[in-house]
Every structure is written in C-alpha cells, then in structure tokens.
Structure 1
C-alpha cells in the first residue's frame, strides 16, 4: 500500500474499510443539477483523514472550488486504506480515484484491473524502510537471516524487504516473512513477536516517535523505486477527462504547498484522539514531508522505473508473471479537455 506524495496525507493509509464505505455511498454518486443547466459530476474519493492538503481541502472547501471550474465536486467515501481493496472498489465502480504505491498497483494490475494510473510522486527516500527496535540485536540486513519480518503481502512492505535482501546478498528464503495487515502490525512488532517490520511513513513515524524504533535501512538505502501513484477508474477517465485533469492540478499544487510548510497541514480537524499527530511525531512527520515530492506527470523515465518494479516482482515470484504497466498509464498532459 504506498502514499504521496502528496506528502504525509498521501500515505496516510490508516484504515481498511474502503470497500464497505464505498459500497454504502455509491448510490449517492450520480449527477445532479448545478443550477446552470449542466450536470454536476461527482468524484468519489477516499476520505483524507486528519492530515495533509486533501484534508485541508475538505475542510476549507478549496478542492470543491477547484473542481467547480469543471462542473464537479467530491464525495468522500470512507477512509483511505491499502490499495488492494481500493483497486477492487475502482474496478467495481464504487470509487473513482485512489492513491497507492506502484508496488501495490503492479500486484493489482496482475489481476483484471478496471483502472489506470495518471500521476506519480517520487519514491519516499526517508519515510519508509525496515524498522527494528532500538535495543534489537539486528544491526545489519545480514542479521535478519533466520529471523521474522512483518510485511504486508504484495506491496510496499514486501518490496522493501526483498529489495534490502537482494542488495545485501541475502537469499529471500533465509528470512521468514510474516504476512500481516499494516494496521494490525504495530502490536506484534512492539511485543517482539517479529524481529523487524517493513513499512511506510504512516506507520514508521509513530513507531519511531513513540515505540523506540529506528530504520535498519530506509528507501534510499535499498534503492527503492516505490513511487506513490494515483489511479482513476477507466469509465470515469473516459467520460470526465477534464475532471481528472483538474484534480491532478490540485494534487500537484497542494503537494508543493504542503512540502513548503508541512506543519500547517498537520491535525487539520483535531489535535487529539487516534487520528492526531502527537507532539513526539510532529518533528519526524515534518522532516519526511519536506524531503518528499509532489504529484507529477508520469514521464518516460518514471515508466521505465515502473517496469523495473514489475520485473523485480516477477523475478521474486510476488506476481505469477511479468506485468506490463505501460498499457495502464495515462498521459495527463494530453488527456482530452472535454468528455467523450
């Protein structure tokens, strides 16, 4: 599941309820009159939570204002979670856009996808990696031999572990992968039931700040190509390309603003409770965002790196065959300015 990025919000993947939530709200996603005689398009988007520029866009109405220029508005449908269920929701016409990682997207594209990718954010060099406790005897990647590492199957987490092992010459079968949902791993890691945890900044930030953990290696150190990517439902892109372009523009500009002033985008709705970034987490969250990137077009160079990820997953038997990502990419710069 990676991210975005649109900074911290882009990877604020805190829940796994997207399918049920989307299903319950899909009936409200039809067109309605906008008072000007033109149908208003509804863009169904996972709720952004409490942090990031999309959260602020929900609170201050700026996203709806940006989309109003193309006669559209947002319907927030549940919470952002791992990309696998979001990909299913896209294919089932229960969601229109969603954020994930290229690693999780490759795994989803190996199925029968109903979506394409229209934007990317450069890999997170410092916010994702392999966590170990500060008092752990594991000091190097080689020390993982014979030990247990918690990973989420077929996405960012498994990719980071396999990349680290490959780079350090450790056979993958010498390390036990313990497959867990990311949002259920913290307790297992903190209790010592696993020796390490491969994860991304949604979970690494609180673990480092509050649980005495640190990165054994981070994304940069393993040579990660794990982009964050935005996906759009095929039918929506075909019917409403102007809305996709307007949304992309908001993502790009919003990410730049958040990167310039990360503190202004923390705890948008509340500074207490389970969704709040704690004082101990703020410094880490701000540093990660400042070193991150914003959503951008998918270039030829990006496409080549997507292909590298797909080849790596095929070589590592994460996917049964090599996934050709190219047919599932949209050039946002040439996307039609009017609906078909």
Structure 2
C-alpha cells in the first residue's frame, strides 16, 4: 500500500535531517572549533575522550550517567567520557555525521534513516526487542475505542522516531493511511501537554512517557507493539571511525553497558527509588516503566535482523524512503560478542 502524503512528509523530514547532518559534518571537517572538540579526540594527558549520546531519563545510559559508572569503567581503559543529551533518536545521527558523538542508544527507525542518509555508523548490539517500547496513548474519557477510530483524529508523534514508524504500521493494520489522520510533529515534552489539554487526540510514544501519562492523568493505552505483534528492535549505535580506530574501547564501552544493565535489572527497587527522586516522579510509575522495558544487550541475531529489515521494507513500500535497503550492511555484532565473551571469562576466574 502506498501512502502518498506519508511519502512526502517523511522524505521532507529526511532531507532536513540529512542537510543538517551534512552541514555539521562539513563544519567538523573544516578545522573549526567543532573539529577541535570532536569525538575520539585525545585530551592533554593523551586519554581518548568517548562522547556518548543520551536521551530520556529512565534508561540505562541516563542512570549510569548519574552514577558515574561509565567514567569509572572506561577510566581503567584509558578513556574519559563526555555526555550529550538529545530529545529523541534522529538527532543522534546528525551528531554522528558531524563526529560529535561516538555512541548512543536509539530505536530502529532512526537507524534506518541514518542508513538512508549514508551516515557512517554501525548498529553494534540490540538493547530491546521493541514489543513494549512503543505505544499509542489516548486521553482519559476519550471516545476512541480501537485503532480504526483514529480516522480524522490528530495524533502527536516525534517524526523520524521509532514511535513514528510504529504509528504508521499500526494505522496500516487498521486499514488506514496517514491521509486518514492528521499527524502532528511533537517532541515528547510538547506532546504531553497537547494530550492533556485536548490539542491532540492521541499520542504515539515510547516509555517512560506512555506509562507516566496513564498514571498521572488516567490516559489509556490504545495499542502497543506487543498487542499488534510488531517487533521493532532498539540498538546501540557507534560511529564507524571510532570503532575502527579504537576497537578495544568499543568493547570496553559495551562491557560497561552490560555491567550497568545487569545492575539496573537486578536492583529494580533501588533503581526505581533513585530515579523517582531525581525525576520527581512517583516510584510506582518508575517501577512499572522499568518492568515493561526489560532492557537487554545481545548480538544482532537473525531474528532481530529480520525484524529490522521488515521495518525498512515497510518504510520503502509505504514510499517513506526512496530506496530499498539491505539493513544488514550496518549491523555488526563482533564487538558485543567479544564484550560478552570477556565478561563471561572474567566470571570464570
């Protein structure tokens, strides 16, 4: 099924994203101040500086940032850490193209957009299967009962995000296209007030925003990836130049991530308490979000690769991207396989 207006809107978004990326990349190559502070640079004491992109407030990376875990782990490997905040996944790729970050954690749709734009990166590990990661939320007392009731409604979503692709796959399952609804570009901090005030009728979003809206306002979940059997893996991404120049630090980063993930998932009560205090959110909300999230760190198995390819194929068939991708070209598991192997060997000692 071809969605003409979806094609136009999404391709316009990609052009803006890629133009920004190319402009930033040009700046980074021009010898400007951006180049001087670029990723993988050496500090005065010859330590490599690893630049990590982070989004959200409840995931492993933001929690580890608060705890200083990556700083401690990577210091042993002779590296320093700098963090860069983003509102969603797509801006990570602008930063990757400009050489301003080396690693990040994003959903599958930004990964596809990055590949379409020829950004030089690799997806190096799977961090979530995506079945519970994206949801469509409707306000309390909404007359909307099922997906087909979205026809003619205003839906907020961050364009280019994993929730954006999820929305269109959900609409497709209901026999709708984007021409049947009004999609409004909103970042999470813009969409929540819009949902609360009735400016939008529904919100396609990821955790923790969905559960927070349900608990705080009585909003309802209309659909999730689990309900619709939509697998949309999330990934850790890495700048190719960094992985080639510093393969040992790439493994060290992944080891630090896995150690953080293990603590994060085995101390949920403590983690929930910490996050509820720093983010001033009810602990019950955070506990529910974390139980829904179930973060993982795994190589990109054939099953995950197939699910990711299906996402790209859907975007191509919908007319959202203008070329068919072989997504396997940006998937690389050797670093995470080595990291997990080394951690397992350490346990045996």
Common topology (TM > 0.5): yes
What is the match of residue 316 of structure 1? 318
**Cα displacement (A) at 1:218:** 1.0
2:37 equivalent in structure 1: 27
- Provide the alpha-carbon RMSD of the alignment: 2.8
Q: 1:285 aligns with which of 270, 286, 289?
A: 289
Q: How many residues align?
A: 308
Which of 289, 295, 298 is the matching residue for 1:296?
A: 298
Alpha-carbon distance between aligned partners in 1 of 2:56 and 2:224, rounded to the nearest angstrom: 25
Indicate which of 104, 122, 128 corresponds to 1:116.
Answer: 122
Secondary structure of 1:88's aligned partner: helix
Q: Distance in 1 between matches of 2:103 and 2:244?
A: 13
Map 1:242-257; keep pairs closer than 5 Å: 242-257=248-263
Counterpart for residue 265 of structure 1: 271
- Structure-2 separation of matches of 1:267 and 1:81: 24
- Equivalent pair of 2:69/2:260 in contact (CA under 8 Å): no
> C-alpha distance in 2, partners of 1:303/1:47?
24
Query: Residue 19 of structure 2 aligns with which residue?
Result: none
**1:72 lines up with 2:79 in the alignment:** yes
Question: What is the CA deviation profile of residues 279-308 of structure 1, one whole-angstrom value per residue up to 9, with x for unaligned ones?
Answer: 45234224323xx23121112221121111
Matching residue within 131, 143, 149 for 1:143: 149
Structure with greater helix percent: 2
Separation of aligned partners in 1, 2:126 and 2:199: 35
- Structure 2's unaligned 5+ residue stretches are 1-23, 340-349
Would the alpha carbon gap of residues 56 and 194 (structure 1) be closer, same or farther in structure 2, given more than 3 Å must change? closer
2:49 alignment partner, SS class: strand
What SS does structure 1 have at the residue aligned with 2:148?
A: helix
Q: CA deviation digits over 1:128-186, x for unaligned, max 9?
A: 21101130000011111122211222222221211112223334422222222233111
**Secondary structure of residue in 2 paired with 1:266:** helix
* Partner residue of 1:180 out of 171, 186, 206: 186
Please report how far the alpha carbon of residue 199 of structure 1 lies from its aligned counterpart in structure 2 after TM superposition.
0.6
Gaps of 5+ in 1: 1-18
C-alpha separation in 2, matches of 1:149 and 1:71 = 47
Name the CA distance, whole Å, in 2 between partners of 1:28 and 1:313.
32
SS of the equivalent of 1:116 reads strand
User: Equivalent of 1:152, from 137, 143, 158?
Assistant: 158
TM-score scaled to structure 2, two decimals?
Answer: 0.79
Match of 1:306 among 305, 308, 314: 308
